[in-house]
Amino acid sequence: MTAIPTSLAPLAVSSPTGRAGLADAVRSEWAKFWSVRSTGWSLAVTALAVVGICVLATSTGHDLVPDPTRRSLVGFFLGQLTIGVLGVLVMSAEYGTGSIRSTLTAMPRRPVVLGAKVVVFGAVALVASELLAFAAFFIGQALLSGSGRNHAALGDPGVLRAVVGAGLYLAVLGLLALGLATLIRHTAGAIATYAGIVLVLPIIVGALPTGLDNAISRYLPANIGLTMISTGGGHLLSAPVFSPWTGFAILAAYAVAVLAAGCFLLVRRDA
């Protein structure tokens, strides 16, 4: 008679060595970023806004903007809205679908999750924005030159700085929007807040008494961007403004501060 064992030996299950880190999270976020339709549509609309408005602004016979570089980059002020929407969706879309729970289960270290989103979105936004800046500049200057109007060359004083600065401005604004979405966790609320900061706040500040307007307006993202895309730098507005790179440092500080606050709340709140 065969003896029946009373207990079974436990199966040996090998545990994976190490733990997932930033590189693994970046690969995951990269796959998610390009798997949704909103990414392609948002980038396409941004390109259409930046280049399309450039063509309209430089093909008209009215030189309302005397700076030819700024004129070719004027589409960035509509592009800043579309890139902001994409930055919001990078985070808020996961809260809307509930997939953020799966993300945080797979990667419990929440600052790493946010860091991976910043790396992926920041890299894509920077490359896309710089490509659009140079495309808009060359297309715009070709149209201005072809019609015999005042135009600029990349080697002229302040031109390269303005073109590169336009791309940096757009990319950092996108990261600011990503930080707002991390704070608010709601797509409509984050987009409304972002639009209020970028588009509505300058109107409100402009309605203030001159002293307050001059004191506050230089800190607004929209005026910082206007300084950055102009070859005239800090001499283009009637109100005092920061120099282009000082303004950019302030804008980057805004994005870092909002992302840091979002990371703090991401760690402390339930998904």
SS3 sequence, the chain? CCCCCCCCCCCCCCCCCCCCCHHHHHHHHHHHHHHCHHHHHHHHHHHHHHHHHHHHHHHCCCCCCCCHHHHHCCCHHHHHHHHHHHHHHHHHHHHHHCCHHHHHHHCCCHHHHHHHHHHHHHHHHHHHHHHHHHHHHHHHHHHHHHCCCCCCCCCCCCHHHHHHHHHHHHHHHHHHHHHHHHHHCCHHHHHHHHHHHHHHHHHHHHCCCHHHHHHHHCCCHHHHHHHHCCCCHHHCCCCCCCCHHHHHHHHHHHHHHHHHHHHHHHHHCCC
Task: Identify the pLDDT of residue 234.
Answer: 52
Evaluate whether residue 214 is within a structural domain: yes
Rg, C-alpha atoms of the chain: 24
Evaluate whether residue 66 is within a structural domain: yes
The dihedral of CA 85, 86, 88, 89: what is its sign? positive
Provide, rounded to the nearest whole percent, the portion of the chain with pLDDT above 90: 67
Residue 12 has pLDDT above 60, yes or no: no
Evaluate whether residue 9 is within a structural domain: no
What is d(CA 131, CA 27) in angstroms, rounded to the nearest whole number?
Answer: 23
Chain segment 57-91, per-residue pLDDT in tens: 888 766 667 789 999 999 998 999 999 999 999 99
What is d(CA 170, CA 226) in angstroms, rounded to the nearest whole number?
Answer: 12
Q: Give the chain's mean pLDDT.
A: 88
Evaluate whether residue 3 is within a structural domain: no
Residue 137 has pLDDT above 70, yes or no: yes
Evaluate whether residue 4 is within a structural domain: no
Residue 18 has pLDDT above 80, yes or no: no
Residue 11 has pLDDT above 80, yes or no: no
Task: Identify the pLDDT of residue 13.
Answer: 42
Residue 71 in tokens: 């004129």
Evaluate whether residue 140 is within a structural domain: yes
Other CB atoms within 10 Å distance of the CB of residue 102? 12
pTM, full prediction:
0.88
Q: What is the mean pLDDT of residues 206-230?
A: 90
Chain segment 145-184, per-residue pLDDT in tens: 888 788 889 999 999 999 999 999 999 999 999 999 999 9
Task: Identify the pLDDT of residue 64.
Answer: 65
Task: Identify the pLDDT of residue 63.
Answer: 64
Task: Identify the pLDDT of residue 131.
Answer: 97
* Domain limits for position 185: 24-268
Chain segment 88-112, per-residue pLDDT in tens: 999 999 998 889 999 888 889 999 9
What is d(CA 45, CA 89) in angstroms, rounded to the nearest whole number?
Answer: 15
Evaluate whether residue 1 is within a structural domain: no
Please report, for residues 45, 146, 186, 270, the alpha-carbon distance to residue 95 in angstroms, rounded to integers and kept in the order given.
24, 50, 7, 11
Predicted confidence band of residue 16 (pLDDT cuts 50, 70, 90): very low
The larger pLDDT score, comparing residue 2 to residue 47, is at 47
Evaluate whether residue 200 is within a structural domain: yes
> What is the total count of domains within the chain?
1
